[in-house]
Amino acid sequence: MFENLSNNLAKAIKTLKGQGKITEINVAATVKEIRRALIQADVNYKVAKQITDDIKTNALGKDVLAAVSPGQLFTKVVSDELTKLMGSEKASINLNGKPAIILMAGLQGSGKTTFSAKLANYLKRQNKSVLLVACDIYRPAAAEQLHVLGQQIDVEVFSKVDHKDAIQIAQEGIEYAKNTHKQVVIIDTAGRQTVDVGMMQEIKKLQDTVKPAETLFVVDAMVGQDAVTTAQGFYEQLHFDGIVLTKLDGDTRGGAALSIRAVVSKPIKFIGTGEKLTDLDLFYPDRMAQRILGMGDVVSLVERAEQIYDEQEAKKLSQKLRKNQFNLDDFYSQIQQLKKMGNLKDLVSMIPGMSKIADNAGNIGEENFKAFETIIFSMTPQERAQPSLLDPNRRARVAKGSGMPIQEVNRLLKQFETMCQLMKQTQKGGIQHMMKLARKFR
């Protein structure tokens, strides 16, 4: 996400010239390019104009220290303004009540049902007992979908087959949650359009009846600027407490994330970063601003790594790297660990400078994993243990055995070499030291 915006902002800031001070003359062209980049990313025009005006005002006349270039100082100003635009600080979810009731709202196809399961899984990992309630009585198999997702994360789902009263289902679900001592109830509702008066009245009545601690508006980030217009129209009829942006892993220009907070004045609380039920992140405006500007987000990366981090395995890996014994079996193992951490393109954006290295090495995406795994298992154990044995003849044999073009085999080996380099760089500081350092800045 934000790939084009990040590239365009980097190009704009790179053109900044001057020494000693950032002046109106040397900043005018840069600000103009930033505004163009924001509008191309589908940011609301008024929002784009306001933020670039603020950037210009705050940057003008700032002294440039000897150790800092104008571009670096200007990047800090842009980062601060982007953070402010997206809400400045993380917004927590309200879990008051026994049980705490969370109501989902949004358009058809926005991803409410999947997000409901993701949120249930997120709260379960925080040792909360959760009940999902299926109140979408219009979409065929909506309740069945929620049951399937609930089974995947081992969370109970309450539904009423052939029942056509969403409010009654919600009430009975809440009563069941009280009787079974559930701490949180997540109510999945039907998608609706703001122009559909009857549907809007239904969810307003549902909100008035169950009195949720939190009403979350789920928005598909893929619809771009339309997401902001929709949120604004929804909020005029149904007051919600926070926004959820789904499908940020898709081909989105990112404008919704930058605009929606400024237009609706409600915080973004969660973002969906992939299709897996673990692909859910709290929204941190400062971290997102840093990622947009290519500054990385090591803290979020460490938080994800901690969930799968095995200290004993890390020590073995460290020893192998020091002895130059890291091989393709280890590479395969690391791919499996990366897959557990979430969308790989998302992870790449969290590492400062990693995007450029990844570009040089070719595309690194989850769609490549299956091909990589097939190629690796087409090698002999000796070849996996000693990748240097893979001369042109052996590579041709592996390509034929895996059913892949020789270019794919070469690309895999190039990715392997890149990963070895990156991991050796990480080892210099030590992954444990990196984690301790990142925790201090949470």
Q: Is 290 annotated as a binding residue?
A: no
281 is in an annotated binding site: no
Tell whether residue 247 is among the known ligand binding residues. yes
Query: Does 151 belong to an annotated binding site?
Result: no
Contacts of 316 (CB under 8 A, 6+ apart): none
**374 annotated as belonging to a binding site for a ligand:** no
109 assigned to a ligand binding site? yes
**Strand 280-282 relative to strand 268-272, pairing:** antiparallel
Measured CA to CA, the distance from residue 122 to residue 169 in angstroms comes to 24
Over its C-alpha atoms, the chain yields an Rg (Å, rounded) of 25
Q: How many CB atoms lie within 10 A of CB 373?
A: 15
Please state the separation of Cα 284 from the chain's center in Å: 10
Annotate 250-282 with three-state secondary structure.
CCCCCHHHHHHHHHHCCCEEEEECCCCCCCEEE
391 is in an annotated binding site: no
53 labelled binding-site residue = no
Q: Is 152 annotated as a binding residue?
A: no
Is 429 marked as a binding-site residue?
no
Residue 325 labelled as part of a binding site: no
388 annotated as belonging to a binding site for a ligand: no
- Confirm or deny that 108 is annotated as ligand binding: yes
The answer to whether the annotation marks 107 as part of a ligand binding site is: yes
Integer Cα distance of 135 and 169 in angstroms = 6
253 assigned ligand-binding residue: no
DSSP bridge pairs for 217: 105, 243
Tokens read off for 353:
């400078």
Q: Binding-site residues, please?
A: 106-113, 188-192, 246-249
Q: Binding-site residues for GTP, please?
A: 106-113, 188-192, 246-249
